[in-house]
Amino acid sequence: MSADVTSHDKKQSWFYSDMVKQHFFHPQNFLDHDLDPSEYNAIGKVGSPACGDELRVWLLIDPQTERIQRFRWKTFGCGSAIASTSMTSVMMTENGGMTLTKAREIKPIDIMNRLGGLPARKFHCSVLCDKALRDAINDFYRRVGKFDKIVAESARMIDPVTKVTDRDIESAVLDGAQTIEQVQTKTKVGIGNPSVLPAVEELIRFYKEKYFG
């Protein structure tokens, strides 16, 4: 059986770039000790070990400039998750630290591009660290009382018949679904309730732009 993940030149299967290997074998800013509370002012968490991937990040953010001064992390996940988070930590702290406004503009595809690409089935790893980062940013604003800057990510019901939410659509797109037919195969959204399909199509476009640019 032929592999379904190849390099851009089609010469290598299950291809990992040299940059991915570098960050996997030599992860940057990995947390190998217990942090003192004075070493961070924001925590982000996403996933669960029971599901196979969990990521936690600890940030030290300058309250005046809102620049990320320090980014520490731990993950229970695969090599791609390790490399993606390591690269994210570098992106967030290089050149004096990225502002929280700019950090929120970073897309998973930006992380993947800095790594020189990831196998398609591993794209969700860059999404994992993106979500943990956003969770940490919300935690910072919660701690400093700037509640108006918190961006809540809540699930919205799209199809009350099949109980499909916008997060289900998001997961389907991240898992490779690019058309409404492919999303329906994965979620059953709109089956028997075609009135929701225009909303589904809009969400597919939104998530494709959000994650793939």
Which residues in the chain are classed under CATH 1.10.10.1100?
157-212
Q: How confident is the model at residue 135 (pLDDT cuts 50, 70, 90)?
A: very high
Secondary structure in 3-state letters for 2-23? CCCCECCCCCCECCCCHHHHHH
Average pLDDT over residues 172-187: 92
Residues of the chain with pLDDT > 70, as a percent, come to 89
Is residue 26's pLDDT more than 70? yes
Is residue 196's pLDDT more than 70? yes
> Which of the residue ranges 44-53, 57-66, 115-124, 155-164 would you say has the lowest mean pLDDT?
44-53
Q: Which is catalytic among the residues 1, 50, 51, 152?
A: 51
Of the CATH numbers 3.40.190.10, 3.30.390.50, 3.90.1150.110, 3.90.1010.10, which one belongs to the domain with range 18-149?
3.90.1010.10
Average pLDDT over residues 27-33: 91
pLDDT of amino acid 4 = 39
Look up 78 and say whether it is catalytic.
no
Which residues in the chain are classed under CATH 3.90.1010.10?
18-149
Average pLDDT over residues 63-77: 94
How far CA 62 is from CA of 22, 98, 135, 148, in Å, comes to 29, 10, 17, 18
68: which strand partners?
A: 61
pLDDT of amino acid 122 = 74
DSSP string, 40-96: -SEEEEEEEGGGTEEEEEEEEE-TTT-BEEEEEEEEES-HHHHHHHHHHHHHHHGGG
Give Cα 117 distance to the centre of its chain: 15
30: which strand partners?
A: 73
pLDDT of amino acid 65 = 98
Considering only CA atoms, which of 30, 28, 3, 29 is closest in space to residue 16? 3
How far CA 162 is from CA of 167, 169, 189, in Å, comes to 14, 12, 6
| Chain mean pLDDT for the chain | 86
State whether CATH 1.10.10.1100 applies to domain 157-212: yes
Round to whole Å and give the CA distance between 125 and 211.
Answer: 12
Q: In a 10 Å sphere around its CB, with 0-12 CB exposed, 13-18 middle and 19+ buried, how is residue 90 labelled?
A: middle
Round to whole Å and give the CA distance between 13 and 106.
Answer: 28
Q: Which is catalytic among the residues 125, 133, 164, 172?
A: 125
Round to whole Å and give the CA distance between 160 and 177.
Answer: 21
Q: For the segment 45-60, what is each residue's pLDDT rounded down to a tens digit?
A: 987 554 456 899 999 9
pTM assigned to the model: 0.73
Considering only CA atoms, which of 135, 63, 124, 125 is closest in space to residue 99? 63
pLDDT of amino acid 41 = 97
Average pLDDT over residues 94-121: 89
Is residue 28's pLDDT more than 90? yes
